[in-house]
Amino acid sequence: RKEVEQDPGPFNVPEGATVAFNCTYSNSASQSFFWYRQDCRKEPKLLMSVYSSGNEDGRFTAQLNRASQYISLLIRDSKLSDSATYLCVVNPPTGGGNKLTFGTGTQLKVEL
């Protein structure tokens, strides 16, 4: 089983739609969680951290379910500029809390 699993997509959605990505992780002792965004041929950039209570940043909402080892990202009112690959990232207890594990990413395409 992969440490972090994501549906690769692509998710093709119309502008204005709401889209949700899911991610599961295998190590129940993982300590912190993140979503990164990666544009084509660019480096990944931190989108948001994911907290147990859930957190929101504008149109983006992240949720964590530790019991099910499941992380989600919800994007409301999708924009063309949201088109990118979204990487689910987990911080497992190995590596002293400093070595992150990345999913392979979910590709989002927002269309007119």
Partner 1 sequence: DVKVTQSSRYLVKRTGEKVFLECVQDMDHENMFWYRQDPGLGLRLIYFSYDVKMKEKGDIPEGYSVSREKKERFSLILESASTNQTSMYLCASKTGGVNYGYTFGSGTRLTVV
65: three-class secondary structure by DSSP: strand
CB 21 within 8 A of CB 77: no
HSE-CB of 91 using CA atoms within 13 angstroms: 12
Q: For partner 1, what does the binding mask look like between residues 63 and 102, x meaning CB under 8 A?
A: ------------------------x-x-x---xxxxxx-x
- Looking at beta carbons only, is 26 or 104 nearer to partner 1? 104
Helices (H), the chain: none
Answer for which of 23, 36, 78, 84 binds partner 1 (CB under 8 A) is 36
Answer for which of 82, 103, 107, 110 binds partner 1 (CB under 8 A) is 103
Residue 58 binding partner 1, by CB under 8 A: no
What separation in angstroms does the CA of 14 have from each of 36, 70, 111, 112?
Answer: 22, 26, 5, 6
Q: Which residues bind partner 1 (CB under 8 A)?
A: 31-32, 34, 36, 41-46, 49, 87, 89, 91, 95-100, 102-105
